[in-house]
A and B are shown apart, each in its own frame.
Chain A
Amino acid sequence: MAARVVTVTSGKGGVGKTTATANIGVALAAAGQRVVCIDADIGLRNLDVVMGLENRIVYDLVDVVEGRCKLRQAMIKDKRLPDLHLIPAAQTRDKTAVSPKDMVRLADEIRPDFDWVVIDSPAGIERGFRNAIAPADLVLIVTNPEVSAVRDADRIIGLVEAEEKGPPQLIINRVKAEMVRRGDMLSTQDVLEVLAIQLIGVIPEDEQVLVSSNQGMPAALEPKSRAGKAFRDIARRLNGEEVPFDDLEARDGFFGRLTRLVRPGGAS
């Protein structure tokens, strides 16, 4: 079966696109799927360090597109998961070195031999973003529960729909349950109401994500990490499994029960 191409994008920078790409790629590969991750953020290479593969780069995305190497030569094999590969971004070129057509051609060349292609999009809505979504079968939009990130997500949803990519799905990253509970952070429900989009994952704020990225070992490989589990759940949903969403914002304990008593129906 030919690979499905999933592009991870956001509009706003710094919401966790690269982290999400690395973790979804890792989680899919850990589940036995053949995966290629592509860093489409040309000029600002990052996916390699998050995946811990920065020391093995010889060729990059632009080298493949411009024919200086074979596709296979630019694919870096992961250290831990034999079925996980990375095509890194070029560091010294800019996004005009690649066109949306190049990306479609590249994805078509990869498709027959793999199960998934996961593309890390640059921030913004310019050429780099267009490159990243051009070959996508499915677009995942990463946002944080804050006004600016959700606003940008809405803009991206409109652009993705205009490209007739089918309905994108949403990842809400860095949710702080405690803040949601006391009414100081948008809840999952709030964000979904505002954006009217299908949800594919809710990632709790988790210090392990930084620890993992320090070490170049995505949190999805950490059995105990809550964020890692949430990313593994996304991978399972991509594979068609029905996975219930963990209720990160559940009001448990004494105050939770009290809240429910005082305000039946909840108020998040």
Chain B
Amino acid sequence: MSFLRFLRGEATSARAAKERLQLVLVHDRADLPPAKLEALKDDLIAVLSRYVEIDSRAVRIELTRDRDQQRLVADIPLASSRARRRPIG
């Protein structure tokens, strides 16, 4: 029963609605739908790879919003940084 779910603080459909809205609005406001962002990410990886070896599977790129400013935040781990941490031998 949804009321019991609510009492236990579990996910309700209202919470799902709010989370979906927040996500879709971030993309709407930037006029950058998720698929386009994915394409941007692929291009970014291709360009960066010409200069430095990156761990392309771990690249994260997302839209965030603080106050009135929308931001594109990219986290691009370098392949070498992981290799270096690997034990020798």
Contacts and interface: CB of A to CB of B under 8 A. Distances in A.
Interface of A: 146-147, 150-151, 154-155, 158, 180, 182-187, 190, 193-194, 255, 258-259, 262-263, 267-268
B9 A184 contact: no
A151 B28 contact: yes
A13 B29 CA distance: 21
Given A194-B18, A259-B7, A183 B24 contact: no
B85 interface: no
Prevailing SS type, chain B contact patch: helix
B24 A186 contact: no
Contacts, number: 56
| Chain A binding surface SS class | helix
B47 interface: no
Contacts of B29: 154, 158
Given A183-B14, A187-B14, 8 more contacts: A150-B21, A186-B17, A190-B17, A194-B21, A259-B6, A259-B7, A263-B7, A268-B14
B5 interface: yes
Interface residues of B, number: 19
14 contacts: A147-B21, A154-B29, A182-B2, A182-B6, A183-B3, A183-B14, A184-B2, A184-B13, A186-B18, A194-B18, A194-B22, A194-B25, A259-B6, A267-B6
Contacts of B5: 183
A183 B13 contact: yes
Given A154-B28, A267-B9, A180 B14 contact: yes
A62 B7 CA distance: 56
A267 B10 CA distance: 10
B22 to A, nearest CB: 6
A158 B25 CA distance: 11
A266 to B, nearest CB: 11
A28 B51 CA distance: 67
Contacts of A147: 17, 20-21, 24
A258 B4 CA distance: 11
B27 to A, nearest CB: 11
Contacts of A190: 14, 17-18
Nearest to A154: B25
Sorted nearest first, the 7 A-B pairs with minimum C-beta distance are A183-B12, A183-B6, A182-B3, A190-B18, A183-B14, A184-B13, A182-B2
